Structure 1
Amino acid sequence: MKNNFKLSDTSVKAGDLLLTEKPFVYVLSSKEKGLRCDNCLQKLKVLKCSGCQFVHYCGRVCQKEAWSGHKWECANLKRVAPKIIPDAARMLAKIVNRLSRGDGHTYRAYYTKTSFRMWKDLMSHYPDLKQDKKRMDHFTSLCMVLFEFLKDISLPNTVELMGMYGRMVINSFTILDIDMNSIGTGIYLASSIVDHSCDPNAVATFDGNTINIRAIQDMPNLDWNQIRISYIDLLKTPYERQTELLENYYFLCECDRCFGDIQMKILHAAKCPNQKCDNPVKISWKDCELVRKPKDESEKNGYIKENGDSNNESEIEQSECNNISEIERDGECSACGTKCTEKDIEVFKKAMEFTEMHLQKMKEKQEGVLHPLNVMHAQTLDHAFDALIQVQLWETACLYAEKLIPCFKFYYGERHPLLGLLHLKYGKILLYKMDLSKALEQLKLAEQILNITHGDRHPLYKEQLLPLLSQAMLEC
């Protein structure tokens, strides 16, 4: 795929395509087996490979295109049948094969006209892996599968294989469909240069197995050292985000969003008893950390080296649920001065404990008790909204969508694919209900976001959003 690379000295506008790339290796998730083409990853009618009877293709074009990479795997899959090879083992096997018998060691993935990344440039975090029992157990199990599966390839020694495994787990991207659901895993060498932030200025979306990285903020120029995407779901507490990043990528995130006062006040906040006041109220409901503090300087330096973000130079105090702000008083609104009664506090604690245990079930105990942007309340709304769509309870789904939109804006930001999808889903429901003016409003909001995050040529924009938008405009 030919790339029209953006020059580093030109300004970047929100929506600009910074990089598009095909994967170095990739696998379709086993849960999508028989539903999608193993080559283009599109969901349509597929037929089994006549050789291995395991992979599926949508037609001869995709089968022919995939054959050079599949022929070695085809024989091995057929030999071990009916055993199912785990996705991670298939992925690692594809890496071994490309490095052993292909162009894996010499392949260059360009992110500018002159700058590129190669397989050897990916970080393996070998020392961290050796200390990670969970990952080492996983690696051991994969080795056992590979020894049985790859009879036709001489496997590298344990150190080399572990380096391959490390590069795989650290640098893999989850491939998403147009609804932002996981459908596979891929390694994209050039795209792996992009580091993480909980307040990203770019976003990665997928069209089949092609990754597209687009800016979601205006920038004075293109500096790849400053481009950030989010590696994780942002609808979580800073502590949960930091823990996930530590466990999966071995660095502690110290971005402004993780340590910012605004999120800290909202995350586990109660609603002010004064119905006319929207200010969050702090109530201590249990001892729990909302953010991680670096244990030592080496851990902090590890983050800076990995993420290239060393702007946070001030000392950061550890924040807990009962220590968000010295100014705030427990159970008292700092804006209007309203104090929570003992009953208010008891109801709040029960609602938080209930929500923590039953996050997937929306209950009336939350309404009017938890702050509308409380992270647990937001997570519950998200789960409930999807469930309501599944059972086609459109009226209730609309009520939940209205409450969920400000939550998504707060946690994901104003320009995020999930916020765009939420507006699209809400607009589609309203169009079905013939609430045309509101449908048009939501679809226009979806268009503003998805045009930036996906571009006007993406199937989600062209094939799903535009027809709905045209229909709403015609019928209004």
Structure 2
Amino acid sequence: MKNDFKFSDTSVKAGDLLLNENPFVYVLSSKEKGLRCDNCLQKLKVLKCSGCQFVHYCGRVCQKEAWSGHKWECANLKRVAPKIIPDAARMLAKIVNRLSRGDGHTYRAYYTKTSFRMWKDLMSHYPDLKQDKKRMDHFTSLCMVLFEFLRDISLPNTVELMGMYGRMVINSFTILDIDMNSIGTGIYLASSIVDHSCGPNAVATFDGKTINIRAIQDMPSLDWNQIRISYIDLLKTPRERQTELLENYYFLCECDRCIGDIQTKIIHAAKCPNTKCDNPIKIPWKNCELVKKSMDHSKNNGIENGDSNKSEIKDSECSGGSEIDEIECSACGSKCTDKYIEVYKKAMEFTEMHLQKMKGSSVAYVDVCKFCLEKQEGVLHPLNVLHAQTLDHAFDALIQVQLWEIASIYAEKLVHCFKFYYGERHPLLGLLHLKYGKILLYKMDLRKALEQLKLAEKILKITHGDRHPLYKEQLLPLLSQAMIEC
């Protein structure tokens, strides 16, 4: 664990490393089995463990380093083979083992010179779990797997085991590769001190299994009570974000981005019929509820990981409760005809349906995305969230099928959406600039390529640092090539 700040009154600059930590426990995702090393998580040629034939290592160094944590698991994996242990069950088993036979109860993870977190400091949300049927069903299924898998360990009683499960699901971090794709799950005790905001001032990135918390804003001092990262993807409506946080972390987020007017005015906006006006227009659609507010609402810029906020909730609707006779642009006065409103509603419904179908899929839906974007053209505002999500899917799909020309067109539009939803300093925005620059370099549009790569460099140096493989091994060579050829 590393922390560059010895004193809390030291000023913080954007890009400063606030915390560097290895996981208390972690699991490589089963979908990466055989593709990545189970120890360093790097994607390279790997060989099976000769004992269990389940985990893989890139060499003897990683195998030796991992053995102290793997030896108990090795025999159990071999015994239950060919059954595949679910990732969550394997994670919980590792927690049980470390607490039962290791240093789990005494291990301290420092986030300042004198302040630390221990396993017992993590909140389990036991009362919330008891009322959560979905998670209780999940817990029950994991218990059945553990009873078969951990025959060599005396399992804790149900209450203790449920407390471990609660700490696991509430405090786990999704481990990401350099392309910001999920490759595993880990629990980081010190990093769990960081709370959530949809307008974060810090970001979590990964180098293998090591988490790095970096500031993305200047701050007068390092106050961990004020450090915020986002627990979720921000390219969603406020209500979707609030619902995800409430379901997964048991708190209602009421930060400025969730309940303020800026996003709610534009999130489902139509484009002004006047082609010379870029003002968003709010057209009632599906009586859609964009924001949840608690009855005892008070604005919070971030909610502590563990604070349950389940007071009575009311919905703030997007003015869809009654028909409005006439809708016009507040900037230029252009009126929306009944036909225009109908076209808008059909475009929204069509897009929403297909986005739902594409959710979680790795298939390249190029034609579907293009069809959705054609229906949105001239009707949905460029920052409309459904338009942004479609562009995001389309860009990834086009890269998969190597249609560089169209991908570069979509990338240009997507940049503005990412800036609005993620902010000016976010890993995904930096990665988008990098991918866009790479495409332009391939197309030999050298001036634009250099411009995009410089934008990527400016962001990724802050979010990842200049020693991260994404910065050193991917960005810098492309930047050098663009500068030489320009």
Fold in common (TM above 0.5): yes
Note the alpha carbon deviations across 1:189-223, whole angstroms, 9 max, x for none: 00000000000000000000000000000111100
Structure 1 residues 369 and 137: CA distance shift in structure 2, 3 A: same
Q: 1:345, CA displacement in angstroms?
A: 0.8
* 1:361/1:384 contact within 8 Å kept: no
How far is 1:294 from its partner? 1.2
User: Is the Cα–Cα contact under 8 Å of residues 252 and 300 in structure 1 kept in the other structure?
Assistant: no
Q: Helix, strand or coil: the match of 2:447?
A: helix
1:451 positional shift: 0.3
Paired with 1:448 and 1:320, the residues of 2 have a C-alpha distance of 39
Quick one: distance in 1 between partners of 2:205 and 2:322?
A: 38
Report the counterpart of residue 273 of structure 2 in structure 1. 273
Does the C-alpha gap of structure 1 residues 432 and 319 become closer, same or farther in structure 2, counting only changes over 3 Å? same
**Cα deviation digits, residues 72-127 of structure 1 (max 9, x gap):** 00000000000000000000000000000000000000000000000000000000
Cross-structure match for 1:421: 431
Residues 264 and 324 of structure 1 are in contact (CA less than 8 Å); yes or no, is this contact kept in structure 2? Answer: no
- Whether the aligned pair in 2 keeps the contact of 1:6 and 1:222 (CA below 8 Å) is no
Contact 1:286 1:321 in 2 (8 A): no
Q: 1:242 to 1:324 in 2, by over 3 A?
A: farther
Deviates more, 1:330-339 or 1:191-200: 330-339
In structure 2, how many angstroms separate the alpha carbons of the residues matched to 1:186 and 1:65? 17
Pairwise mapping of residues 72-471 of structure 1 onto structure 2 (< 5 A)? 72-295=72-295, 306=304, 318-322=315-319, 331-359=327-355, 364-471=374-481
Post-superposition Cα deviations, 1:387-413, rounded to whole Å, max 9, x if no partner, equal: 011111111001100110000000000
How far 1:5 sits from its partner (Å)? 3.2
Pair 216,297 (structure 1): closer, same or farther in 2 beyond 3 Å: closer
CA gap 1:280/1:6 in 2 versus in 1, 3 angstroms: farther
- How big is each residue's C-alpha offset from its partner over 1:329-388, in whole Å with a ceiling of 9 and x where there is no partner? x621101111111111111011111111112799x0101100000000000000000001
Change (3 A) 1:308 1:159: closer
Shift of 1:322: 1.8
The structure-2 alpha-carbon separation of the partners of 1:297 and 1:365, relative to structure 1 and needing over 3 Å to count, comes to closer
CA contact (8 A) 1:361 1:380 kept: no
Structure 2 Cα separation of the partners of residues 212 and 467 of structure 1: 23
Alpha-carbon distance in structure 1 between the residues aligned to 2:305 and 2:64: 40
- Corresponding residue SS for 2:410: helix
Contact 1:85 1:145 survives alignment (8 Å): yes
CA contact (8 A) 2:286 2:320 kept: no
1:420·1:447 contact (CA, 8 Å) conserved in 2?
Answer: yes
How far apart, CA to CA, are the structure 2 residues paired with 1:298 and 1:126? 25
* SS in structure 2 at match of 1:246: helix
- CA-to-partner distance for each residue in 1:270-317, whole Å, 9 max, x for gaps? 000000100001111211100111156799999xxx35999x999998
Separation in 2, partners of 1:96, 1:257:
39
8 Å CA contact 1:251, 1:299 repeated in 2: no
Q: Please state whether the residue corresponding to 2:9 is helix, strand or coil.
A: coil
Q: Give a deviation string over 1:27-59, Cα, whole Å, max 9, x none.
A: 000000000000000000000000000000000
**Cα distance, 1:7 vs structure 2:** 2.2
CA-CA distance at 1:230 after TM superposition: 0.1
Q: 1:92, 1:181 → 2: CA distance?
A: 23
What SS does the corresponding residue of 2:205 show, helix, strand or coil?
strand
Report SS of the residue matched to 1:322: coil
Instruction: Give, in whole Å, the separation in 1 of the partners of 2:142 and 2:305.
Output: 29
- In structure 1, distance between residues paired with 2:295 and 2:74: 49
Aligned residues of 2:173 and 2:187 also touching (Cα < 8 A): yes
C-alpha deviation, 1:326, in angstroms: 14
Deviations 1:413-460 (A, max 9, x none): 000000000000000000000000000000000000000000000000
Distance in 1, matches of 2:257 and 2:301, equals 18
Are the aligned partners of 1:239 and 1:292 in contact in 2 as well (CA < 8 Å)? Answer: yes
Aligned-pair RMSD on alpha carbons?
2.8
Change (3 A) 1:322 1:2: closer
Task: Report how many residues are paired.
Answer: 470
Q: Secondary structure at the match of 1:358?
A: helix
Report how far residue 319 of structure 1 moved. 2.8
- In structure 1, how many angstroms separate the alpha carbons of the residues matched to 2:116 and 2:90? 26
Q: What do residues 213-270 of structure 1 show as CA deviations (whole Å, max 9, x unaligned)? A: 0000011110000000000000000000000000000000000110111111101100
Superposition TM-score, scaled by structure 1 size: 0.94
1:360–1:380 contact (8 Å) kept in structure 2:
no
TM-aligned CA distance change 1:86 to 1:417, over 3 Å: same
Report if aligned partners of 2:245, 2:251 keep a CA contact under 8 Å in 1: yes
Gaps of 5+ in 1: none
Describe the shift of the 1:98–1:299 C-alpha distance in structure 2 as closer, same or farther (beyond 3 A).
farther
- Asked whether the 8 Å contact 2:3–2:19 carries over to 1, the reply is yes
Q: Taking structure 1 as reference, are residues 297 and 445 closer, same or farther at Cα in structure 2, changes over 3 Å only?
A: closer
